[in-house]
Chains A and B, each alone.
Chain A
Amino acid sequence: NAGVTQTPKFRVLKTGQSMTLLCAQDMNHEYMYWYRQDPGMGLRLIHYSVGEGTTAKGEVPDGYNVSRLKKQNFLLGLESAAPSQTSVYFCATTLGPYQPQHFGDGTRLSIL
């Protein structure tokens, strides 16, 4: 998906390990979001940012932290991974709240 790049694409972790997911965008968008997608539950918002240096909690923030030190990057961290965090994680960006969001290709994360 041009413009929104997520790394890594796939990762397997053991319970208790930590990791950081990176979302990078080259569209100069102010707003960035992290969602998780689980079977039968659609996408749910974890955290979001309305500009460099700002972050806010979404629907399911527990167990995750985020940072937006640079406008183009939005990092999602798992400090101590749990099996319940096994999911597909999507980053999305937009110019503003009245515009459609554009999604990255996702990161498939499995926690054993």
Chain B
Amino acid sequence: EDKVVQSPLSLVVHEGDTVTLNCSYEVTNFRSLLWYKQEKKAPTFLFMLTSSGIEKKSGRLSSILDKKELSSILNITATQTGDSAIYLCAVPIYNQGGKLIFGQGTELSVKP
């Protein structure tokens, strides 16, 4: 059974801290992994990772895929209160219409 697991499930930090969110997967025919940020409403797309070891960056956020370890990390440096959200990791299943298998999400709270 295809599975995606995220850790930790929740995290409380202070502004300026650096955080690392983890995602591991067990998926047949793996090709890519996606990260989303969810605030009050819709999940919004952050990164899509397809190659192992290549870092994707956007401002203070970055992510790397490790195909050998079947995992990915999402780093956020110099956190701000606006980074408070649920971060979702997902893997597409291409032979089933590209449906996404999601992890449980990591709820990040950044305190002033």
Q: Which residues of B contact A (CB under 8 A)?
A: 4, 9, 31-32, 34, 36, 41-45, 48, 88, 90, 92, 94, 96-100, 102-105
Contacts and interface: CB of A to CB of B under 8 A. Distances in A.
B99 A48 contact: yes
Nearest to A96: B98
Interface of A: 1, 4, 31, 33, 35, 40-45, 48-50, 56, 58, 90, 92, 94, 96-106
Given A4-B42, A50-B97, 20 more contacts: A1-B44, A31-B98, A35-B100, A42-B104, A43-B90, A43-B100, A45-B99, A45-B100, A49-B97, A56-B96, A58-B99, A90-B42, A96-B98, A97-B97, A97-B98, A100-B34, A101-B98, A103-B44, A105-B41, A106-B42
A41 B88 CA distance: 11
